Structure 1
Amino acid sequence: MPENNRTKLLIARRVPNAVASRAVSEFRAYVTESDMDAWSVVDFCKKHDVPAVLIGKKSGLQEDHIAALPSTVKIIANASAGVDHMNVAFALERGIVVTNAPDALTECTADFSMLLVLAACRRASEYERIMRSGWGKSFGMTEMLGTRVNGKTLGIVGFGRIGRAVAKRAQAFGMKVAYTDIQRASPALENGAMFYPSLEELLPHSQVLTLHVPGGGTPLMTKKEFGLLPEGAVFVNAARGALVNEDALYEALTSGHLFGAGLDVYRNEPHVDVRFAGLQNVFLTPHMASATIETRDQMGFTALDNIAAVLDGQKALNPV
């Protein structure tokens, strides 16, 4: 097949129609109708000598998969910010460029994090269930009370793009902001937020805590860390489920130490621990922080922009 008619890209996960249309037009891409697993990706690449692959969580390529890829593969593109579903180090060792989409998710993930904060503090899931069951009973001054966010301190773990975007939204709601990260941000980026050099120092000041760091490895939040939060605190996680020891979180929620939680991510997705579904003081969503039409399109377009650059002999726009 002539070079200009050759399939240059395998899209191994389902993508929005706008992304698929551009991929077919620009790269003569093969677009899967259902998410492919890693070995199916390897087999396709061997048969069709494609130089570029866009993968997802199900097609996350580990060392044995990457070792089996043909030398024609030049780039593995991710349409998400996280790359914990693949072995990046081994891909780079093989000379394969790996890219992600770090900016595409920022605004919508920050919006969603604030939604979780507000929903957990104001008992949104409980109120919604009351209405869906028919209401039928007025509540007095002392019943079904939430906790307001105005005036409270929001602790942010990870003050990168998303963490800073959450800080701006929290400040608009009248919240004070404190954070911890590997290093302190510049005064301009801090925008009045208080820096604590360690998680242990941040936690006692965090009336609401939200996580914005990569997952993997040992859980960041265990019984010790939850115990350091002030009594009546609210915990929010729209980052990665692996950051949390869920037994410790459950204990903190059922003991009354935590007022509530807003959760979008879980350790064993898509199979959430059923204990959380039974708790009234938890607002649960199914890993949907980036789930808007605009953001999902932008995620895919960012991956395609990186592929276009690499195949054109240029540097990747978002190398990992």
Structure 2
Amino acid sequence: MEAAEAAFEVTLRDETAPLDAEELRDALRDFDAVLPTLGDRFDAAVFADVPQPRARILANFGVGYNHIDAEAARAAGVVVSNTPGAVTDATADIALTLILMTARRAGEGERLLRAGRWQGWGPVQMLGAHVTGKTVGIIGMGRIGKAIARRCHFGFGMTVVFHNRSALADVGVPATQVGLAQAMAADFVVVAVPGGAATHHLIGINEFAAMQSSGIFINISRGDVVDEGALVATLQAGLIAGAGLDVYEFEPKVPAALIALENVTLLPHLGTAALEVRTAMGLMAVANLVALFDGAEVPNRV
């Protein structure tokens, strides 16, 4: 806020609920610039209703921008930017958190203890999956995918395979690029692709069918990259060992069927939830705004 107020006359909407339909349109009509967050859906219909917006830029607070129709914005003369570098390590850390929590049944164990049902240590109590030395399949080898690969390889001695839409010669660690089905067959599968039309339901029933029965599925990308119904069906049928999720197809709604499963770790979209990370994201978004109005190149234009 201090950085924004040093450069602009700022109107703060101090609540976390997404902008409603009227607010979305008013934002384009009434302001020179908008700094939106994840739930603010600037879709094609919004731009159709405001074909000549006053706003010159949507400086998104976050790396994912699938809630903004970038093509419709571009056609209306509105720049869209995001905050990619600030989120990389924090999001990769959450991926590893989900791997460990799900493999070692940490959430289930804490619920057991808090409910007063723990009877003490036993040699076969709550046996989970060992992580060290296993194979991880990473779907999407961008900044975050590479950060996950480094953590898995150097931290846990894991073998890394990955699927990516373009060929990559060097991802920073020993790794093998494979087809999607082969990546899904790893011991741990982590989805790290960007959201949007190109990746909507990228992971569905056929992809889950390629997983091992002992496989664990992790999603830290966007909820609609995964067909949530197919994931629920796969888990309920016992076809994979578990899942760890930080994002959901219709968040904040989470299916009751997922909540009912003990072998699923559910986090409330904590990927970048660290004060220093969120501060860096905000400052990066403001820097995008300042650059545009200074006549400079917007550093993180999408």
Work out which of the residue numbers 59, 66, 71 in structure 1 matches 2:40.
Answer: 59
Q: How does 1:68-83 map to 2 (within 5 A)?
A: 68=50, 70-83=52-65
* Letter of the 2:191 counterpart: L
Q: Which residue of 1 aligns with 2:190?
A: 210
Deviations 1:46-79 (A, max 9, x none): 34xx321111234321223224165532211101
TM-score normalised by the chain length of structure 1:
0.87
CA displacement at 1:147 relative to structure 2: 0.5
Deviations 1:209-266 (A, max 9, x none): 0000123444122221111111210000111111212222123222222111111111
TM-score normalised by the chain length of structure 2:
0.92
Q: Which residue of 1 aligns with 2:204?
A: 222
Q: Percent identity?
A: 35
SS in structure 2 opposite 1:261? strand
Cα distance between partner residues in 1 of 2:54 and 2:108:
54
* Letter of the 1:230 counterpart: Q
**Does the CA contact (< 8 Å) of 2:140 and 2:191 recur in 1?**
yes
Q: Which residue of 2 aligns with 1:15?
A: none
SS in structure 2 opposite 1:64? helix
- Pair 1:25 & 2:9 matched: no
Q: Which runs of 5+ in 2 are unaligned?
A: none
Distance 1:149 1:23, change over 3 A: same
Which of structures 1 and 2 has the bigger CA Rg? 1
Cα distance between partner residues in 2 of 1:177 and 1:58:
33
Distance 1:276 1:306, change over 3 A: same
Please give the root-mean-square deviation of Cα atoms over the aligned residues, in Å: 1.7
Deviations 1:161-216 (A, max 9, x none): 000000111111121111010122233x24201111x2023222x11000001234
* Letter of the 1:232 counterpart: S
* Letter of the 1:76 counterpart: L
Distance 1:126 1:132, change over 3 A: same
Cα distance between partner residues in 1 of 2:118 and 2:38:
45
Distance 1:314 1:38, change over 3 A: farther
* Letter of the 2:14 counterpart: E
Work out which of the residue numbers 243, 258, 268 in structure 1 matches 2:225.
Answer: 243
- Structure 1 residue ranges, 4+ long, deviating more than 6 angstroms after superposition: none
* Letter of the 2:67 counterpart: H
Q: Which residue of 2 aligns with 1:181?
A: 164
Cα distance between partner residues in 1 of 2:34 and 2:288:
11
Cα distance between partner residues in 2 of 1:124 and 1:99:
37
Cα distance between partner residues in 2 of 1:97 and 1:254:
44
Q: Which residue of 2 aligns with 1:103?
A: 85
**What is the total number of aligned residue pairs between the two structures?**
296
Cα distance between partner residues in 2 of 1:222 and 1:174:
29
Deviations 1:110-149 (A, max 9, x none): 0001000000000011110111122441243223100010
* Letter of the 1:37 counterpart: D
Work out which of the residue numbers 280, 289, 302 in structure 1 matches 2:284.
Answer: 302
* Letter of the 1:173 counterpart: F
**Does the CA contact (< 8 Å) of 1:45 and 1:69 recur in 2?**
no
CA displacement at 1:38 relative to structure 2: 4.6
**Does the CA contact (< 8 Å) of 2:27 and 2:34 recur in 1?**
no
* Letter of the 1:177 counterpart: V
**Does the CA contact (< 8 Å) of 2:137 and 2:190 recur in 1?**
yes
**Does the CA contact (< 8 Å) of 1:252 and 1:258 recur in 2?**
yes
Distance 1:71 1:252, change over 3 A: closer
Distance 1:175 1:44, change over 3 A: closer
Q: How does 1:1-320 map to 2 (within 5 A)?
A: 20-34=1-15, 35=17, 36-47=19-30, 50-67=31-48, 68=50, 70-171=52-153, 172-187=155-170, 189-196=171-178, 198-204=179-185, 206-217=186-197, 218-320=200-302
